Structure 1
Amino acid sequence: MSDLQLRRTLLYVPGNMPSMLQNIPIFQCDGVIIDLEDAVPLSEKDAARILVRRFLDTYPQRNKEILIRINPLDSKWGIEDLRAVLPALPDGIRLPKADTPEIVERLDTLLTEFEEELGIEIGRFKILPSIESAAGVINSIKIARCSQRVFALAFGAEDYTASLEIERTKTGEELFHARTRVIWAARAAGIQAIDSIFADVGDMEGLRRETELIKRLGFTGKSLVNPRQIEVVHEVFAPKREEIDYALQVVEAIQKAREMGTGVISLGGKMVDAPVVKRALRVLKTARAHNLIDMEIDDEVIYGQE
């Protein structure tokens, strides 16, 4: 069974705040997004990218994924952001305003050029496109498939609701269609889906409810704006003990079915076949990534031996 890279929590860290940058190694999130875009005033853009570069140069032994949210490529800062931070080797770029596959392809080309200049492996830098508008939602399937560098799609609810000229609510009905479109696109492309921030850092119960909702919809993680939100999101995404126990029972049942020469078997009065086994393996894979189990399982459980 291949290892699953957890991206439950991607924490935004303003690129112009040295105190926050210095704390990145101790944050317990799966990854950070160092922000050079919305969090940085226009007057501090140049200073912020220099600060981020210096920080990354002093942080070579990294314990989490590091992404940089650059300014839009069609702004006067975007390419300068790339030129400043890529030599410090972040893991990838979070691309704002990813409205079309063409803008992602343009970033792909630029990253290849920088990799060639730096003499590093082509394809090293990953891309996380941020779907933040009606156009982005409509084009999300093409965006998800337009580059091998794209490892996930991110949904930006604040900019999306602004583009529709509607209010974002805590209940989130206005986001349902866009969220499902982003998830469909990501799953169709075989990549992960990262949900938007929950802006009210004082409302932990609201954060929990929203995280439970987006987990049910199919998202694999969430962007965060405050380190205090990390624990709640991790708790929600961790498989529950009863889920793990049932998944183990499913695996045991299907292994017995293989011994009997059949692809289906009954467990507790319910049929266990390949789709049920796939869901069980997903639970076990996630549980292993959370260090809740240490067992190894591969696809032979589903398909049997040749």
Structure 2
Amino acid sequence: MAGYQLRRSLLYVPGNMPSMLQNIPLFECDAVLIDLEDAVPLNEKDAARVLVRCFLDQYKERNKEILVRINGLDTKWALDDLKTVLPGMPDGIRLPKADSPEIVERLDTLLTEFEEELELDIGHFRILPSIETALGVINATSTAKASTRLIGLAFGAEDYTATMEIERTKSGEELFNARMRVLWAAKAAGIQAIDTIFADVNDMDSLRRETELIKRLGFTGKCMVNPRQCDVIHDVFAPKAAEVEHALQIIDAIKRAREMGTGVISLGGKMIDAPIVIRAARVLRTAQAHGLVDIEISEEDIYGTE
């Protein structure tokens, strides 16, 4: 998909549930994570991957991004997962327990081999690694740079708190350091940062508070376990009218500044320079992707001309 791709909401759908799979086209999320890992019992692994392949073969005209969460590369199921689902042309693979860059590199190599077999361009399949352990958090910076296939880094709090031998709370203080490490790694690599699920599907107020927090920190999206969570997440990530209007004023002001031969200008008593312009452009590109404005922000708008 061209341009800035929204990944505000990524919905987990169990790969062994036909009723959920057939409803994927109706869900309003930006992406679906079809799960062959945690959601599928051991005795249903083989049947689930075949079911997912059948769904992918039937769902050719897609209105959202489709990633398949395979079983970990250190398990006996991972290679069969890839062999079965990749010919169905998912957009990419959600890689669980990405504890090191070597794991991502191994998946990259496997995907290249399958692309050659399927006569696809190298790089066709994307990767979204999940940082789910203490070791994964420590190695997040190098993992984020392990492959050009990466579209983002995702944080998995449930497994992370298990490896830390701590309880996950709704207030989330215990997640702050790990979230920031994942976030810094993603931003440094120039890819998106995706937050963990909020497990209580009946507590929309706490979901909103957590989503507002992770947006302020810099995350660009959040995973979900229920499609009912989608509206709250989208509402939080959508730029507000005042933000959009201010961003438009900033772009207009910097254009006037450049006409006057300078790279800075005052707007409402505050200095407008390059970092402020970059932030405004990000707001407008997000707003355009949401359908809130009909405007294309170019690199010339942001940086000017030589």
TM-score normalised to structure 1 length: 0.99
Aligned to 2:101: 101
How do 1:3-152 and structure 2 match up within 5 A? 3-152=3-152
Aligned to 2:238: 238
Matches of 1:97 and 1:78, distance apart in 2? 12
* Paired AA for residue 158 in structure 1: E
Cα deviation, 1:178-206, whole Å, max 9, x if unaligned, reads 10111110010000010000000000000
How do 1:148-297 and structure 2 match up within 5 A? 148-297=148-297
Cα deviation, 1:93-148, whole Å, max 9, x if unaligned, reads 00001000001100011111111111111110111100001110110011000101
Unaligned 5+ segments in structure 1 are none
Cα deviation, 1:53-89, whole Å, max 9, x if unaligned, reads 0111111111100000000011111111001100101
SS in 2 for 1:171: coil
Unaligned 5+ segments in structure 2 are none
Aligned length: 305
SS in 2 for 1:263: coil
Shift of 1:253: 0.9
Matches of 2:60 and 2:36, distance apart in 1? 20
Cα deviation, 1:254-283, whole Å, max 9, x if unaligned, reads 111111111101111100000011110000
Aligned to 1:302: 302
* Paired AA for residue 166 in structure 2: I
TM-score normalised to structure 2 length: 0.99
Shift of 1:302: 2.9
Shift of 1:303: 2.2
SS in 1 for 2:54: helix
SS in 2 for 1:93: strand
Matches of 2:15 and 2:66, distance apart in 1? 12
RMSD between aligned residues = 0.8
Matches of 2:80 and 2:127, distance apart in 1? 17
Matches of 2:295 and 2:102, distance apart in 1? 42
Identity %: 73
Shift of 1:295: 1.1
* Paired AA for residue 103 in structure 2: I
Matches of 1:101 and 1:303, distance apart in 2? 33
